[in-house]
Amino acid sequence: MTLKNRCGWCTSDPEYIAYHDNEWGVPIKNDQALFEMLVLESFQAGLSWITILKKRENFRSAFNQFDYNKIAKYDQSKVEELMQNKGIVRNHMKIEATIKNAKAFSAIQNAHGSFSRYIWSFVNHKPIVNRYKKLTDVPAQTVISKTMAKSLKENGFSFMGPITCYAFMQATGMVNDHLTSCFKHPDNL
């Protein structure tokens, strides 16, 4: 069996490997899937991605499979229920932000026809393929992620700053930051 070269952040954890190999950097255009990544990335702020990844199924269950229409209607009793759920990250501000973001997400859908059309416009509707050789070359944020964060904030989003937006862009394939040595980099496929 040939050992595959992966990005340096990908640990030996099977869940991390599966995420790296099958999801990270793959373009997502589906609104439901985009909302899921928005929620997960906002909860990840200040934590490691593996923490969120290991709780992903619990998040799906707790947040109605990331149905933004249902989440937008959550009330205070639902917030309290989520705060008791040990399977997710129990952060009151992030839970409240998720409800607020679900409402803002729907408003953007109504204004643009889809959230995907709006969010992908930041990269002219096609992935940016970077060619970084080392992890230290990969930025934490870019001019585009700063512009996206500003627009999201103006549209009512919370917990979506420029660093979180860049992580979201990487996760949803808006940018492909697989290292040039990684088997998943487009030049190696």
Which of 41, 74, 118, 120 is catalytic? The answer is: 41
Which of 120, 108, 123, 98 lies closest to 155 in space, CA to CA? 108
Strand ranges for 51-121 from DSSP E: none
Token pair for residue 4?
A: 């595959």
Which of 9, 23, 49, 132 is catalytic? The answer is: 49
Which of 19, 23, 96, 132 is catalytic? The answer is: 19
d(C-alpha 70, C-alpha 30), whole Å: 17
Whether residue 49 lies in the annotated active site: yes
- Give the residues across from 175 on adjacent strands: 128
Whether residue 120 lies in the annotated active site: no
Compute the Cα dihedral for 157, 122, 65, 109 and give only its sign.
Answer: positive
Whether residue 19 lies in the annotated active site: yes
For residue 158, the surrounding DSSP H or E stretch is: none
Catalytic residue ranges: 19, 41, 49
